[in-house]
Structure 1
Amino acid sequence: MSTQSSITIVGAGPSGLACSIVLAQAGRRVVVREWKPNVGHRFHDDFQGLENWTRDEDVLNELTGAGITTDFERHAFDAGTVFDPSGRRYPVKGRRPLFYLLRRGPAEGTLDRALLKQAIAAGVDVRFNDRVREFDEAGVLAAGPRQAGIIAAGQLFETEMPDGAWLALGHAVAPGGYAYLLVHSGRGTVASCMFTNFRDQAKHLAATVAFFRTNAGLEMRNPRPFSGFGNVRLPTTAMQGGHPVIGEHAGFQDGLAGFGMRHAIRSGVLAAQSILDDSNYTARWQAELGPLIKAGVVNRLFFNLAGELGMKLAVRRLARADAGGLLKRVYETSALKRLLLPLAQRWYRASLAEPSCDHINCDCVWCQHGDHAEGEKLGT
């Protein structure tokens, strides 16, 4: 490929923008085409966590090493509180930050806005309100989730609460998932992150709010609703029409907890590197991301089979250890995980056929906000 030929990236999420930054910094001409009118359109200034436990290298150093500046607002959290399904409280702590709290959406200071600014500064041509239906030129596909395997329903608010991170397990607050409360500098996000029973999201959010009011002293002023969804799958090649597919468009997401930002950004970097050195993108992501994604899918199988008793035992163990170190071991491969992967994948595919959501008169997050375009395929 000529270094003067233009490379098109479809989608201006973290994976697409990260890919564009690496390419532009190497002197390539890059065009990012985004369907929506701004970055971060799926988010509402809500807090999210950039995980820092799946690799030995700190995630901020990983980004910097790829040429991506970390000038977005972020706050390191090395401790928090986890509640088991019976409501028992366990403090957890890591020897280094467990995650970096950051904001998502189009506002100043968010991850999305910071990546956009860096891409433009590097010379990337970012075009909004540009929905791509045919795509023949050289490029990368980063158009976001194609289906919903996870949804989150919550509220953003102002508060006098002290900073902190709280997580609650149990099917009452979050079937198949977890509920969370994140507070920093007078702002907060509370949500139920569900892997099933989408249609009853309002009930589970109400249970989540009530739980944190009782157990964490939740106080909210000026609450505003927000919602989101995510896509998890293990692709074979992550290639479509000869183009690398990155981020949640490919399904690069953690199957256990839904922490996908690190995977998404890394996949964008890997795609850019494969273009720059004309190497095999599939081999690259399978080597770097594949083991973590496979482990997440098997971890999801363990989580489903363990039930609430297993959750209690897991939380107790987490509280007794370096939380980050233990979580890292959970995402390492093993002979047992390799053996169980085919079963876990079949289980996971079946779980995506969400029985509570038939897309008929349904107001769940995916039905209301997902991209349900029939038969639209890019790169063909």
Structure 2
Amino acid sequence: CTCLWRQQSKSSRYLNETIAWYEQRYVLNRRPIKRVGGKGDFAQPNKYVHEGRYYVGEAGGLQDCMWGFGMRYAITSGVLAAKSILGECDYETEVRGRLVPLVRTSAINRFLMNRVGDRGFKMVANHWMRDQEKKGDGLAFMRWLYKPGIVWSLLWPIVKLGMLRRKRLADGRTVHRMPFRKSLSRDIWEPSVRAVEIGAQWDAIRRSGVKTSFGESDA
């Protein structure tokens, strides 16, 4: 799993380097060679139901802005959408009541973490590990971290204005989306010899007619 905030258009290059790194340390069986993937959307739309469409999971921006988690949001929103179609609930109301507060809290956590830097992130991670050893449950700290509160509610307008960018989509909806960051100097480096070989190997396979499940772009 690779999460990129910068250099999105060069994701294959990073994947090649990752494969090369693992090959040096582990015995990998990559046959048959395939590449699949997808893109998450860290966004807050103004509508989750629009023109008969139910936007669930990443399509609805229901993804954790702090860690990139999204499986639980996808399953929960999918179930709620199905129940709404069957007339058992109102999807828009349920998503805004059960999932949106968690997504907003994750955005606030990301906003705060961006301001404490790597040292602050390591402190949080170390505290998480100590809390897990003490309680025997790594989720206890996460539940506390994601519990919406008054302070977090007051911070949301600041986060929405300072970290997210407003954009109007082609379908008429409006979203506040976390933008890709500009490249940094450390993002510019020469690929290893093995990574270049892995890239050439994949190019040869792709020329035979195999396609990836998504394209590389900054969109």
TM-score of Structure 1 vs Structure 2, range by shorter chain: 0.5 to 0.7
SS class of match (1:221): coil
Q: 2:81 aligns with which of 253, 256, 271?
A: 271
Task: Name the structure 1 match of 2:72.
Answer: 262
Task: Name the structure 1 match of 2:156.
Answer: 341
Q: Aligned partners of 2:103 and 2:94: how far apart in 1?
A: 14
After TM superposition, the structure 1 = structure 2 runs for residues 77-226 of structure 1, keeping only pairs within 5 Å, are: 191-199=1-9, 201=11, 202-203=13-14, 206=17, 210=21, 218-223=25-30, 224=33, 226=35
Aligned-residue RMSD, C-alpha: 3.2
Q: 1:198 touches 1:354 (CA, 8 Å); kept in 2?
A: no
Task: Name the structure 2 match of 1:41.
Answer: none
SS class of match (1:277): coil
Distance 1:278 1:305, change over 3 A: same
Distance 1:302 1:218, change over 3 A: farther
| Runs of 4+ residues deviating >4 angstroms | 207-210
Q: Which digits, 9 at most, give the CA deviation of each residue in 1:64-114, with x for residues without a partner?
A: xxxxxxxxxxxxxxxxxxxxxxxxxxxxxxxxxxxxxxxxxxxxxxxxxxx
* Gaps in structure 1 of 5+ consecutive residues: 1-190, 357-364, 373-380
Task: Name the structure 2 match of 1:368.
Answer: 215
Q: 1:236 aligns with which of 46, 61, 80?
A: 46
Distance 1:192 1:305, change over 3 A: same
Shift of 1:248: 1.7
Distance 1:196 1:343, change over 3 A: farther
TM-score, with structure 2 as normaliser:
0.64
Q: Is residue 2:160 matched to residue 1:313?
A: no
Q: 2:131 touches 2:141 (CA, 8 Å); kept in 1?
A: yes
Q: Aligned partners of 2:111 and 2:16: how far apart in 1?
A: 24
Q: Which digits, 9 at most, give the CA deviation of each residue in 1:160-179, with x for residues without a partner?
A: xxxxxxxxxxxxxxxxxxxx
Task: Name the structure 2 match of 1:299.
Answer: 109
Distance 1:208 1:255, change over 3 A: farther
Q: 2:43 touches 2:61 (CA, 8 Å); kept in 1?
A: yes
Q: Is residue 2:141 matched to residue 1:326?
A: yes
Q: 2:8 touches 2:216 (CA, 8 Å); kept in 1?
A: no
Distance 1:256 1:205, change over 3 A: farther
Higher relative contact order (CA 8 A, sep 6+): 2
Q: Aligned partners of 1:197 and 1:366: how far apart in 2?
A: 19
Distance 1:207 1:310, change over 3 A: farther
Q: Aligned partners of 2:158 and 2:20: how far apart in 1?
A: 35
Instruction: Give the aligned residue type for 1:313.
Output: M
Q: Is residue 2:62 matched to residue 1:252?
A: yes
Q: Which digits, 9 at most, give the CA deviation of each residue in 1:7-46, with x for residues without a partner?
A: xxxxxxxxxxxxxxxxxxxxxxxxxxxxxxxxxxxxxxxx
Shift of 1:236: 2.4
Q: Aligned partners of 1:208 and 1:300: how far apart in 2?
A: 28
The structure with the greater share of residues assigned to helix is: 2
Identity %: 26
TM-score, with structure 1 as normaliser:
0.39
Distance 1:225 1:279, change over 3 A: closer
Distance 1:316 1:225, change over 3 A: farther
After TM superposition, the structure 1 = structure 2 runs for residues 55-70 of structure 1, keeping only pairs within 5 Å, are: none
* Gaps in structure 2 of 5+ consecutive residues: 133-137, 166-176, 184-211
